[in-house]
Structure 1
Amino acid sequence: MRSLSTANVEFCLDVFKELNSNNIGDNIFFSSLSLLYALSMVLLGARGETAEQLEKVLHFSHTVDSLKPGFKDSPKCSQAGRIHSEFGVLFSQINQPDSNCTLSIANRLYGTKTMAFHQQYLSCSEKWYQARLQTVDFEQSTEETRKTINAWVENKTNGKVANLFGKGTIDPSSIMVLVNAIYFKGQWQNKFQERETVKSPFQLSEGKNVTVDMMYQIGTFKLAFVKEPQMQVLELPYVNNKLSMIILLPVGTANLKQIEKQLNSGTFHEWTSSSNMVEREVEVHLPRFKLEIKYELNSLLKSLGVTDLFNQVKADLSGMSSTKGLYLSKAIHKSYLDVSEEGTEAAAATGDSIAVKSLPMRAQFKANHPFLFFIRHTHTNTILFCGKLASP
């Protein structure tokens, strides 16, 4: 499983850097796990150069034996290679039903009904990815298909991701469309009390301020101080400690750009490692924020190196269908996050905890300027989400 979590971190940071350079000064939020998952589903049916490009971008090329060429001739899904079965295991671990946490991933490939898809691809993608390719009529019923896709996504994400495809955004000549939406809502292990929330300034990167609802609590949390670049790393666990939010906050003279510049899988691991993080009493100031961001993945993936997949002439998806000319016409990713006092919209307030105010050794963590955040599955060390709050 380690190979998959390493690939996940590397892919996550690649995507973050690409989005960051194309959306300067904007908030960023996406689910690296959900993207990795959707693209692996495509990889299952990709062959040749198309498969190699995907493996490289997903950082699967160093997970030996990830894909066996014999798969398409074999009736057994187990021949697809270890990476796909690992995904199945990982997913069942992360997706365990939990009343305190909602994680809904809507992943589906929609293919034109004019193509015949291999039964084996359909059954193996269902086995490993709980996702079956749906055939639709893009050509004759474009608008109806768009509504069908949107309704399915809305249903899978508790109504939070609505109207994924706007009117006129699906082309009647589409061959295959990848839909990838995710919704997360978790309750904090230590809730913030609503009465402690105050209006407070948040400094934007260009020296301007906006007023935000700043949540506040004193609690015992894991915190690290990094000297170069200067930052604080705080871990806020969600209920049951299965998931936690990790925040990288520049302090002192450092700014977010310096952290972004030095961010890679090695430094991320070092900054957030348990040997660095010490449990201590912390005064936490964190803004309440909601993020809902949609990305067209075609250009993002092309700039990372996945080019053939979107090219009708070059795409090799012969593991999905023998019909020539199968390629990915469009790929969309949308994710939704709500960070509030309870961590979720509806939670009963619990008894007040009385904090002793006289401890001089308490650390201050004041997120009143832009920061990076990650939501991570503790047990498998998998990053589910990655984001940057530039402006709440």
Structure 2
Amino acid sequence: MNVREAMKKQADVAMMLSRHVLSFPPKDSNVIFSPASINTAITMHAAGPGGDLVADEVLSFLRASSIDELKTVFRKLSSVVYADSSACGDPKITSANGLWIDKSLPVNNRKYKDLFENFFKAVYAPVDFRSKAEEVRIEVNSWVEHHTNNLIMDLLPPESVTDETEKIYANALYFKGAWERPFEKSYTKDQDFHLVNGTTVSVPFMTSYADQYVRAYDGFKVLRLPYRQASNDNKREFSMYFYLPDKKDGLDDLLEKMASTPGFLDSHIPSYRDEVSLCRD
């Protein structure tokens, strides 16, 4: 199995998910979501109790050849990407997984407890949804808050967990890093920001006059901002990427191009710094 090719397929799936998720919210809203978390939860579902009933649908959706391929991608992410080396100077990153399953289901709990705790490094918790649904909802919310440093609170709203709930698969992903080249606070100035509805609002723009990883492509530009990390970490590199359409109303077209072009992300990564007169994010 070619792990790199399997990872590339999941990057394409992430772009497809982005197009789907961003097509529903109002145009004047902000959206944050984690394709990696969705991938992890779906992989656990396919490998977990009753997963054989949805395996074909999962494999088709994630464009994977087998559950083993998905588990290989998960192993690569958890052992390399999500490995926390913050004590050595890398960004702080944690990924926590869990399955809350109704204890009345005819499931081999010993088998799946071993799989989830030892392979997925996950919580495996048989619970009583029938009479304690609200208590389980509070427990899951508390787990999410703890593993995201209290940044995600009340993930499951009231009445979202009922006596008919059978399973809850969860992934909590936390990341905190410092820029390799921090922005100077004194350079931050209010400027006009153009919204997709055609109006503008005044927002504080961080500004830098340093050389940047930036490149212009056909109809859009890409800016890469690396995070500071340990000098001896040669297995991975964390960066934030900004994709900016040339047209003020070009976001939908750019998103469509990103989602419909295989390998789009790998093909649009600035690899060297360029001198720029002004760089904002």
Could you tell me the TM-score, scaled by structure 2's length?
0.85
Kept in 1: contact 2:46–2:52 (CA 8 A) = no
Residues 12-53 of structure 1: CA deviation (Å, up to 9, x unaligned): 111111112212413222111111111111111355551000
Partner of 2:233: none
Match of 1:232 among 221, 224, 244: 221
Residue 112 of structure 1 corresponds to which residue in structure 2? 102
Question: Aligned to 1:178, what secondary structure does the other structure show?
Answer: strand
Quick check: 1:113–1:136 contact (8 Å CA) kept in 2?
A: yes
2:22 alignment partner in structure 1? 20
User: Does structure 1 residue 214 correspond to structure 2 residue 205?
Assistant: yes
Structure-2 residue corresponding to 1:279:
273
Once the two structures are TM-superposed, the CA of residue 134 in structure 1 deviates from its matched residue by 1.1
Say which of 55, 59, 62 aligns to 1:55: 59
Deviation string 1:142-164 (CA, Å, 9 cap, x unpaired) is 22212111111111111111111
1:170 alignment partner, SS class: coil
Taking the TM superposition and a 5 Å limit, the aligned residue runs for 1:119-198 are 119-198=110-189
Aligned amino acid, residue 44 of structure 2: M
Q: Distance in 2 between matches of 1:151 and 1:5?
A: 31
Aligned to 1:261: 256
In structure 2, the residue corresponding to 1:140 is in which secondary structure?
Answer: helix
Partner SS for 1:236:
strand
Decide whether aligned partners of structure 1 residues 165 and 215 sit closer, same or farther in structure 2, where only a CA change above 3 A counts: same
For the Cα contact (< 8 Å) 1:193–1:217, is it kept in 2?
Answer: yes
Structure 2 unmatched ranges of 5 or more = 230-235
Aligned length: 265
List aligned pairs for 1:40-51, cutoff 5 A: 40-45=43-48, 46-48=50-52, 50-51=54-55
What is the CA distance between 1:224 and its match in structure 2? 1.5
Offset from partner CA, 1:181-210 (integer Å, 9 cap, x none): 333221111111112112222111122111
- Of 47, 53, 71, the residue aligned with 1:84 is 71
Report if the CA contact (8 A) 2:98-2:169 is conserved. Answer: yes
Q: Deviations over 1:254-298 (max 9, x none)?
A: 721221222234362464146xx4421233211xxxxxxxxxxxx
User: Higher mean Cα deviation, 191-200 or 47-56?
Assistant: 47-56
Kept after mapping to 1: 8 A contact 2:212/2:224: yes
- Assess, with a 3 A threshold, how the Cα gap between structure 1 residues 216 and 268 changes in structure 2: closer, same or farther: same
Read off the aligned partner of 2:22 and give its amino acid letter.
Answer: N
Whether contact under 8 Å (1:215, 1:285) holds in the other structure is yes
What percentage of aligned pairs have identical amino acids? Answer: 25
Tell me the equivalent position of 2:232. none
- Offset of residue 246 of structure 1: 1.3
Q: Is the 8 A contact 2:196 2:248 kept in 1?
A: no
Provide structure 1 residue ranges, at least 5 long, that are not aligned to the other structure.
68-80, 287-392
- Output one character per residue of 1:213-262: Cα deviation in whole Å (capped at 9) or x when no partner: 211112222222112xx111111111127211111111257721221222
- Matched residues in 1 for 2:35 and 2:204: separation? 28
Match of 1:37 among 36, 40, 48: 40
Distance of aligned partners of 1:215 and 1:28 in 2 relative to their CA distance in 1, 3 Å threshold: same
Q: Secondary structure at the match of 2:213?
A: strand
The alignment status of 1:249 with 2:244, answered yes or no, reads yes
Aligned residue runs from structure 1 range 61-76, under 5 A: 61=65, 66-67=66-67
* Offset of residue 112 of structure 1: 0.8
Change (3 A) 1:198 1:209: same
Cα distance in 2 for partners of 1:190, 1:165 equals 37
Distance 2:211 2:280 in 1: 14
**Separation in 2, partners of 1:44, 1:267:** 27
Higher strand proportion (structure 1 or 2): 1
CA contact (8 A) 1:222 1:278 kept: yes
Q: Tell me, in whole angstroms, the C-alpha distance in 1 between the residues paired with 2:188 and 2:165.
A: 48
Is 2:39 the partner of 1:6? Answer: no
